[in-house]
C-alpha cells in the first residue's frame, strides 16, 4: 500500500502486523482473523518457517473461562503471568467473557497494569457494546463520560449498536440520551448516518412501548435536523393493537403482520412529510425572492 502511495491511515495497520519483541507467546485466532490455508501451505517450506521456533500458545477463550468468577487467587496468577496486554488481545478477551460483570472487572483491571497499556477506541467500543446489551446504562454512561474527557471518539457503528441494544434491555431513556449526545461520542454525525441512528432509536422506542414519545421525537428531528426516515421505519413505531386501544376508534391494520401500518399511521406520516415540504417550498420562495 505504501509503495503505491497509500500512506494515510496505514500506521496502525503496520504496527498491528509488526512483531512485538515483548510478547513471548502466540495468541490463538479466536475471531477467525488468521490467514488462509493456501497462505499457510505456502509458508511451510520457507527457510524462515523452519528456523523460527513455535511460541507458547495463549487462547483468550480458555483464559476468559478460567477468570469467569474473577477470583482474587486467579487474578493474582494472572498478574504473575507477565502477559503483555495489547488492544487486540484485550478485545479478544472481552469478547470471550460470558458475564458482562466479569468483562467490566477485567476492563478496569487491565487499565491499571504496568507496561504502558492504555484503552483505545476499539477496546472502549467493545466494552460499551457489552454493557449496553446487558442493560447496564449506568456503566455505559460512566464509560462514555470518561472517553469524552480523554478525547477519544468512538466509531459511529458503536453508537448505533448501543442504541439498538437498549431496545433489547427496554431502556428507552438511556437510548435517547445516547442519541442526543452522539456528536460528542463519535464526532459530527452526517445526515445519512443521522437518519440511520434515528431509525435505530425509533425501533428501540417501539420495543419499549414508547410509541407516542417516538412520534414526538421524530417530529422534533424532522423539524430541527432535517431527518426524513422512510415509511417502513415510521410504521413500525407502534403495534396496531396499541394504536387501536389508545385511539379508541382508529381503523385497524390489515390482517397479517403485527407491525402492518394502519390508516392512522399513513395519515400521520402524510401530515408530517407534507408539512416539511411546505416549509421547504416557503424557504425556497423566500430565497428566490431575495435574489430578484
User: Residue 233: its pLDDT value, please?
Assistant: 56
CB burial of residue 85 (10 Å; 0-12, 13-18, 19+)? middle
CB burial of residue 144 (10 Å; 0-12, 13-18, 19+)? buried
Give dist(CA 56, CA 13) in Å, integer. 24
Answer yes or no: are the C-beta atoms of 118 and 87 closer than 8 Å. no
User: Residue 35: its pLDDT value, please?
Assistant: 41
User: Residue 7: its pLDDT value, please?
Assistant: 67
User: Residue 274: its pLDDT value, please?
Assistant: 61
Which DSSP string do the residues of 130-193 spell out, in sequence order? HHHHTT-HHHHHHHHHHHHHHTPPPPHHHHHHHHHHHHHTT-HHHHHHHHHTHHHHHSPPPHHH
User: Residue 185: its pLDDT value, please?
Assistant: 94
Q: Please tell me the pTM assigned to this model.
A: 0.65
Sign of CA dihedral 139, 144, 148, 151: positive
The DSSP 8-state label assigned to residue 19 in this structure reads: -
Q: Structural domain boundaries of the chain?
A: 22-29+54-118
Looking from the CA of 97 toward its CB, the CA atoms found within 13 Å total 23
pLDDT in tens, the chain (292 residues): 667 776 666 666 565 555 555 555 545 554 544 443 443 444 444 444 444 454 456 788 888 998 988 999 989 998 888 888 889 999 999 999 999 999 999 999 999 888 788 999 999 999 999 999 998 999 999 999 999 998 999 999 999 999 999 999 899 999 999 999 999 999 999 888 888 888 888 888 888 888 778 878 878 887 887 776 665 555 555 643 454 344 444 444 444 444 445 556 556 665 665 665 555 555 666 666 655 5
Give dist(CA 101, CA 122) in Å, integer. 19
Answer yes or no: are the C-beta atoms of 137 and 174 closer than 8 Å. yes
Amino acid at each position: 500500500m505504501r509503495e503505491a502511495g497509500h500512506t494515510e491511515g496505514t500506521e496502525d495497520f503496520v504496527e498491528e502486523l509488526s512483531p512485538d519483541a515483548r510478547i513471548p507467546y502466540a495468541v490463538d485466532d479466536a475471531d477467525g482473523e488468521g490467514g488462509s490455508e493456501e497462505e499457510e501451505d505456502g509458508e511451510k517450506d520457507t527457510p524462515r518457517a523452519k528456523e523460527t521456533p513455535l511460541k507458547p500458545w495463549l487462547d483468550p477463550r480458555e483464559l476468559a473461562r478460567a477468570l469467569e468468577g474473577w477470583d482474587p487467587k486467579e487474578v493474582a496468577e494472572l498478574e504473575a503471568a507477565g502477559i503483555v496486554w495489547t488492544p487486540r488481545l484485550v478485545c479478544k478477551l472481552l469478547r470471550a467473557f460470558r458475564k458482562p460483570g466479569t468483562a467490566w472487572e477485567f476492563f478496569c483491571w487491565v487499565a491499571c497494569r504496568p507496561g504502558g497499556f492504555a484503552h483505545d477506541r476499539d477496546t472502549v467500543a467493545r466494552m460499551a457494546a457489552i454493557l449496553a446489551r446487558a442493560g447496564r446504562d449506568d456503566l455505559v454512561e460512566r464509560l462514555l463520560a470518561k472517553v469524552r474527557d480523554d478525547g477519544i471518539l468512538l466509531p459511529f457503528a458503536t453508537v448505533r449498536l448501543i442504541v439498538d441494544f437498549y431496545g433489547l434491555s427496554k431502556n428507552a431513556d438511556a437510548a435517547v440520551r445516547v442519541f442526543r449526545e452522539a456528536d460528542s461520542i463519535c464526532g459530527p454525525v452526517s445526515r445519512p448516518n443521522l437518519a440511520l441512528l434515528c431509525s435505530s432509536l425509533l425501533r428501540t422506542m417501539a420495543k419499549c412501548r414508547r410509541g407516542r414519545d417516538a412520534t414526538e421525537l421524530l417530529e422534533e428531528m424532522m423539524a430541527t435536523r432535517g431527518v426524513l426516515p422512510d415509511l417502513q421505519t415510521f410504521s413500525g413505531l407502534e403495534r396496531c393493537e396499541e394504536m387501536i386501544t389508545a385511539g379508541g376508534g382508529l381503523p385497524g391494520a390489515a390482517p397479517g403482520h403485527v407491525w402492518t401500518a394502519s390508516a392512522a399511521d399513513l395519515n400521520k406520516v402524510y401530515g408530517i412529510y407534507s408539512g416539511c415540504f411546505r416549509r421547504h417550498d416557503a424557504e425556497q420562495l423566500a430565497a428566490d425572492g431575495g435574489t430578484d
